[in-house]
Structures are given as structure tokens and as C-alpha cells.
Structure 1
Amino acid sequence: MSVRPVVRQLFRIEQLVDMLLALTGKEISRLQQILRSGTVVYHYYRYWWEGFEAVTEDLQVLLAKFPDADPSQAFRAEQCTAAAIEQAETQAPAKKMEVEIPREAASRKRLLRARSLWECLMQLAHENIPAYKTYSYGRHADIYVWEILPDVRGRLEKAVERFAPRELRAPLRRILQSSGALRLRFFVPR
């Protein structure tokens, strides 16, 4: 059993709503319900405040300050901060595998290697432009996706063996060798 200390922290309403958007999106009725209840669990922490009634018009004005999903946003590889390989569909969603690939870790070049895993991923993204999917309020980023075809899967497996840093190699190997369709997601902050 672990005990976390209670910390008092002041939030501006914009900060609180920013945190809640990761859970609710711009669904006003759900935001009003949480603000009225005065409590939420976010990233394993419980936050609470004196609940209050949020007026719909005030929330609409506040939400206008936050970005919306915008499919017209072109994929910008140079601004991409992370990628993730995930199983496209599984019988049990709770067992869905996903491996996140942070740019910083994947950009490191292994000893005597001319390329990095990140460079390989960006080359694949250049060859097969990912489609816009949505905006993630939790990541403050646009999400782009493409399905990993069998020939690309083989190229990815080779790239992982040759260029992936040690901490990413085993989980990436495991997901690439799993059965079923895979999808590659790219995160581009706005």
C-alpha cells in the first residue's frame, strides 16, 4: 500500500478545464457534471474542489480558447514528438498492445550506425503520408495514423533490429511479431 501526501494547489479555471478536456473532450454537459461534482481522478491523482455550477455560455467562451480537431492540418514530420505502434483491433480491448516511441529516445544512434530509428520512422511517414485522425487534449497534439501493411511491417522489424535503442527494442520486437493488424500513430503538438 502506498500513501500519497495531500498537496494544496491553486488552479485557474483554464488549467482545470485543460485537464478535464483530456477526459471529456469538448462535451459541455460532461464538463458541467464534473465541475458540479467537485472531484476527478486524473493520472492516478484525485483532484477536488468546491463544486460549482458552470454556465453553458461561459464554458463555450472558455472552450473556444482550446483547439478543435482540424483534418486540414498537414502532417509535419519535423514537429512530430512521438509515435506509437498499436494493435489495430483485438478481441479484448483491455489486452490491446501499444508501444510508444518518443522522438528523443528513438533519435539516438546506436554505436557505428549511420541512422536512427526515428529517421526510419520519418522516412516511412514521408513515403506513406499518415491520415489525420483527431486532436488529443491530453497530449495537446494532433494525431495522424496509418495502417502498417505487411511489407512495411517487415521493414520496421529490420529497422528495429538495426537502429532501435535497447530500451525500445524488446517491446517493439514483441508487438511487431504479434498477430493481427498494426497501426502507427504520430503525435504532432500544436
Structure 2
Amino acid sequence: MGYNDFGYTIWGRDWVRLAEPIRQTRPEPLLPRARSIARNNGVQATIEGRTVRATIHRGNEASVIYLEVAPLSRAAITAIGEVIPDTAVLTDDMHRALGAANIAIAPVLAGTDCSCKARTLRCVHVLATFYDMARRVDENPVLALEIQGYFQAAQEDSPAPVEAPRWVPLNSFDPANYFDVAPA
């Protein structure tokens, strides 16, 4: 990589790989423009849970981008917790340790959508959003796990008691448990 604007940490490089897959055999002509959009702060993104909603305004056109990241599996969450007990600060060495333990933590997209007229899965706006996410993850590597649902799943496993619901839907009861049915 001749440039180092995006993916200067291993955590951010996972997002750059979404835009620049290693298995790609020919150059992608949209990448320089996508990098330029992201480098010049052209992507306004908000992250909510496992979704990224972004807008890109260029001239008189505006595009809305939606990325949904697949959640980590329960096995991966458990394995990450064993390899990295404290996820407050993530380093490149921790990423390498996860790779050595064969734990895949690169983001996997569950869905992408862009409102532009290109109507492709890899339009310039989606690619620019990948680069913007790489920049954000470079600045805060914890975001790499957060966007995949790692911390939300850890909270669901907390030992805090869960309050029983006050009401139970009637269709959840099995009548055979409550009534004696005599054979006819």
C-alpha cells in the first residue's frame, strides 16, 4: 500500500479490505475517487449498533448509504474474551493474537444499499463509506468490535437478574398441561 491515509492499523485495514479485496484481479477505477471523498470528509456517517448510515453530498446530488454488519458468532465472542480479557484498548498485537488463534474478526457485511443511480453493490459512495469507517476504526479500534455487536452480546450475558415479565401471552400456554383430557 503506497498510501497510508486509511488502514494504518490492522483493525482499520480490515475495512480497507472491503474496498480493496485481495482476490481482486483488475484495478477498480472508482477507488481513487472514493478515497478522495473520504479523505476530504465528504462522508457524514452515523453508527447505530451494527448499522452505518451515511450521506455524501457532491454538487447537487446527495446519496444515502446503508451498511449492515453481520454480528459475531457466540463462539467468536467467547474466544475473543479469552484471548483479550480487557478490550478497553486494542492494539495491533491483540489483532495478531486473535489471528494466531484462528478467530476471524474482519467485518462481514450483511447488507449494503445506496440511493445513487449506479445501483451496484460497489458504487463510489459505498467504497467511500468503507474508507471512512477504516479511518474511524484507525482512530478508535474498539469500534471494530462494537460495530459487530461484541459489547452488546457481552451485556446480554451479564449475571444481572432479569425481571420476569408481568404478562404472558395466552397462546404461549399448552392446554395439555392445564386440563385433564379424558379419552372419548
Superposition TM-score, scaled by structure 1 size: 0.21
Higher RCO, Cα 8 Å, sep 6+: 2
Larger Rg: 2
More strand by share: 1
Superposition TM-score, scaled by structure 2 size: 0.22
